[in-house]
Structure 1
Amino acid sequence: MTSQPKHSRPSPTERTRRLLSEAARELLRTGAPLTVQSAAELAGVSRATAYRYLPNNDAVLMHATMPLVEDAGQRLQPPEPDTPDDDTSPTGLPEQASTLVRRMGVWAFDHEHELRTLLRLSLAPERANRVPRRGQTNRDVWISELLEGLPAHVSQAARERLAVALVPLFGADAVVWSTDIAHVDQETALDVMAWIAATLVQATIDEA
């Protein structure tokens, strides 16, 4: 008779840590205060217990934002080229840039409230060194990987300029300028951002 595999139950410590992490994420999603007390109340544990896992309010922020960054890194994959040669061809790379920016844009709008909260916190003087804006969506990684597909004749200066030009097309920055400043709906914003990305990449290749 074949024995059934046993699934170990999470320990009380693991369960409490999970409850507090989920509470921190929910606080961020809803815009509630990111404090140890708020996390403890939402998780249904005492403040004394919460402080064993979250020693201060910055720890609450860390637990709330880590899954957001991981989500962007795990769920969004660089677009696959149609053929092996497309990743370095002048016609293939602009389309990849367009597809990548659109995917990141969809993710950003899906997490709009969280990203706006992080943006607000990053601009607060007391948190200026604790909530870095550049690490919220891993955009540096995506841009770097995209630029690797540029033809060899593109200069380093042109690559660096393109990298800077692509930054506003990712994360909270893309959501803010397209909806708050340009006053366009989500679909229009995604179309415009995808077009900008393709145009910038193509112009860089043509200029070189």
Structure 2
Amino acid sequence: MTFSSQESSLASGRVNQKQRTRRALLDAAVRLASEGKTLTVPEVAEAALVSTATAYRYFPNTRALMFEVATRQTQPELDEIVAGLPVEPADRIAQLVSSIADFQLENESLWRAVLGASLERWFSQTEREEDERVPVRGSHRIDAVDAALSPLRDTMAPELYRRLTMATMLVCGIEALVSARDACGLEPAEVNEVMRWAARALHDAAVREAGNAAG
């Protein structure tokens, strides 16, 4: 079966319209979250000038919307950061952690909203069997941490490299930022400084442990 040029044009037009609608909804979600507003699908639909019914076809709930926003915001940013990291492993991980802190502090309301959506997703699955649960978070950040630390992979035991990767995850990202801001009461500049220091300290401790094991 073949399409006429008119049918092909109509099909292409529908795809483009869907892409524009999806983009409009995501743009509106980012704008509302950046203003510190609690997101709901109906509110995002209204801001995007899209019907609520249409919005729900793209995003069945707020959690789905927020995870799409997080992916859209995170992946290009992290790709650019990782591509520009220096050669020295200690400098690489310190710069990555500092850069993540910078871009999340620039839009703190949005990232707090993303964290809230993650927590809601966790609570929504507590009664499901373990193998039926959907991952609460994506892998963008841990992939970036692994890329930053990768020059060390062949210099230490696999279990030590894994421990360093996981420990670094505890001192970067929105969870660490909220702890630094709310529990510690730090201002943004000090948040960045403390996270950077912690990442470098973990790196140095792991390198020393690897050296002792080799000696």
TM over 0.5: yes
Who is 1:203 aligned against? Answer: 205
What pairs with 1:22-37 in structure 2 (closer than 5 Å)? 22-37=27-42
Distance 1:22 1:29 in 2: 11
Any idea what SS the aligned residue of 1:148 has?
helix
Aligned to 1:6: none
Name the SS for the 1:39 alignment partner. Answer: helix
SS of 1:169's equivalent? coil
Q: Is the Cα–Cα contact under 8 Å of residues 100 and 172 in structure 2 kept in the other structure?
A: yes
Q: Counting helix residues as a fraction of each chain, which structure ranks higher?
A: 2
Give the 3 Å change call, closer, same or farther, for CA 191–57 of structure 1 in structure 2: closer
TM-score, normalising length: structure 1: 0.76
Q: Cα offset for 1:106? A: 0.6
Structure 1 residue 108: Cα displacement: 1.8
- Letter in structure 2 aligned against 1:19: A
Number of matched pairs: 190
CA change 1:113–1:130 in 2 (3 A) is farther
Q: Which runs of 5+ in 1 are unaligned?
A: 1-8, 82-86
CA contact (8 A) 1:79 1:99 kept: no
Stretches of structure 2 lacking an aligned partner (at least 5 in a row):
1-12, 127-132, 211-215
Q: Which residue of 2 aligns with 1:161?
A: 163
- Which of residues 96, 102, 124 in structure 2 aligns to 1:106? 102
Q: Does residue 1:68 correspond to 2:73, yes or no? A: yes
Distance 2:125 2:34 in 1: 19
1:96 aligned partner? 92
Alignment match, 2:26: 21
Task: Quote the Cα distance in structure 2 between the aligned partners of 1:61 and 1:101.
Answer: 23
Root-mean-square deviation over aligned CA pairs: 2.9
Whole-Å separation in 1 of the counterparts to 2:60 and 2:175: 31
Superposition TM-score, scaled by structure 2 size: 0.73
Shift of the 163–36 alpha-carbon distance from structure 1 to 2, 3 Å rule, reads same
Bigger mean CA offset, 56-65 vs 101-110: 56-65
Q: Percent identity?
A: 29
Q: How far does residue 55 in structure 1 lie from its aligned partner after superposition?
A: 4.6
Aligned mates of 1:123, 1:34 — CA distance in 2:
14
**Higher mean C-alpha displacement, 32-41 vs 114-123:** 32-41
Aligned to 2:136: 132
